[in-house]
Amino acid sequence: MRGTDRQQSAMFSYISAERRVPKDHPLRAIRVMADAALEHLGPCFDAIYASSGRPSIAPEKLLRALLLQMLYTVRSERMLMEQLDYNFLFRWFVGLNLDDPVWDVTVFTKNRERLLKGEVAEGFFTAVVDQARIQGLLSDEHFTVDGTLIEAWASHKSFQRKDARPKTPPDDPGNPSVDFHGERRSNDTHQSTTDPEARLARKGAGKEAKLSYAGHVLMENRNGIAVQGCVTQATGRAEPQAAMALVEKIPGWHRVTLGADKGYDRKELVQELRDHQVTPHLACKSSTIIDERTTRHPGYQISQCKRKRIEEIFGWLKTVAGLRKTHHRGVARVDWIFTFALAAYNLVRMRNLALAAP
C-alpha cells in the first residue's frame, strides 16, 4: 500500500548526531587523527588568546570547520556556516550539538584571522606528520620536491605601473575599463594594487601569465605523504631556493635522495645538494652535470618514477581543497592556508593507507 505524504514541521528527536554518523564513515578516522593533532596545539592556543574576557569560538572547532571546508570543497565561509546549520555530519565533526546556534560568518572570519597570526597551521601540520612517522608510513631516505603556481586573488586590471600618477575616478570604480593591450608589463615596473606581493608568472612557454604565488612541497617517496611545504613569491627562481630550504628541514644528518624534474637541474643547486649529503636524482637536461655515477643505479629510475606522485598532491590541493585560486592575500596568509591544506591532504592519505592495510 502506498504510504501517505505527511508533513510535520515540528518534532522531537532523541537520536544524537553520533548515532546518525555511520561507523565506517571516512570522517571518523580523520577526526580521531585531527583531534590528536589539536591536542598538541594547546600551548599555542593559550599564547594567542587572552586569559580573561568573553569566550570566543573554540580554536579546535574553528580548525575542524576549516578542515571540512577543504575536504568537501565548500567554496566560501558563508556557505560553510549554512552547511553547519543543517548538516548533522558537519555538526558532529566540528563538535556542535544539534541545538547549538551556528556562528555568524563575520564572527567566524574574525576568529580565523586570529589564528592566521600564529604558527597554528605549521604546528598542526607537524603534528599530523609526526603521527605518520609513528605509524611507520614515512621514508627518511628518499624524497621528491616540486612546485606549482597558485593563482592570486587579484585581477590583471589591478596590475599597474609603480610610478603611475593618480587617475581620475572611472565611471565604474568596482569594475573599471582598462586597456593594457600593447603595453609591456613586468614585475619590475608594475605591481598589483589589490595584492602587492603577487607576481606575474606563467607555467611555461605559450601559456598565459597570471598573478600568482609559488607553492612548494617536499614529499617522501614511500607513501606519497607531504613532509614539508611553503609558499613564496613566483619570481621564476624560487624553486631551487625553496627546494634547498625544505631539504635542510629533513631531520638527521644522513645521506638521502631527492627526485625532481628538469627545472631543478641547475649546477649551483646540484652542488649545494651534494654538500648537504643529498644525492640529486633530478631529471637531466642536455647540459647537466649529473653523470652516470648517479643515473646508472636502479634507485635513480625509482626516484624518477616516484616523483610523479607529487602531482597528486597538487591536484588534490587545487581541485578539492580549493587552492587553484587562493582567497587570501599576501605570502604569509597564502602560506598559512597552503600548509593547513597539506595537513588535510595527509589526513586523507593516512586514512586511505590504513584502510588498504592488510
pLDDT digit string, tens, across residues 89-137: 999 999 888 888 898 899 888 888 888 877 889 999 999 999 999 999 9
Q: What residues make up the domain containing 283?
A: 138-152+212-342
**Residues 321, 244 share a domain:** yes
Residue 231 counted as domain residue: yes
Q: What is the C-alpha separation between 89 and 92, in angstroms, rounded?
A: 5
188-236 tens-digit pLDDT: 888 888 889 999 988 877 788 889 999 999 999 999 999 999 999 988 7
**Do both 148 and 247 map to the same domain?**
yes
The Cα 279–Cα 291 span in angstroms is 12
Q: How far apart are CA 85 and CA 92, in angstroms?
A: 11
Task: Give the alpha-carbon dihedral of 37, 136, 305, 208, to 10 degrees.
Answer: 0
Q: Are residues 95 and 23 in the same domain?
A: yes
- Three-state SS for 255-266 is CEEEEECHHHCC
Whether residue 223 is contained in a domain is answered as yes
Quick count: other Cβ atoms within 10 Å of Cβ 311? Answer: 11
Has residue 311 been placed in a domain? yes
For the chain, how far is it from start to end, CA to CA, in angstroms?
47
Neighbours of 290 (CB within 10 A): 19
Radius of gyration (Cα) for the chain, nearest Å? 24
The reported pLDDT for the residue numbered 9 is 61
Same structural domain, 112 and 216 = no
Lowest mean pLDDT among 182-186, 329-333, 342-346: 182-186
- Output the pLDDT for position 156: 84
Residue 302 lies in a domain: yes
Please give the tally of structural domains in the chain. 2
Q: What is the pLDDT of residues 275-291, one digit of tens each?
A: 888 888 988 888 888 88
**pLDDT mean over 50-55:** 76
| Phi, then psi, of 294 in degrees rounded to 5 | -105, -45
**Residue written as grid cell 617517496:** 221
Predicted TM-score (pTM) of the model is 0.90
CA distance 155 to 175: 10
In the structure, what pLDDT confidence band is assigned to residue 2 with cuts at 50, 70 and 90? low
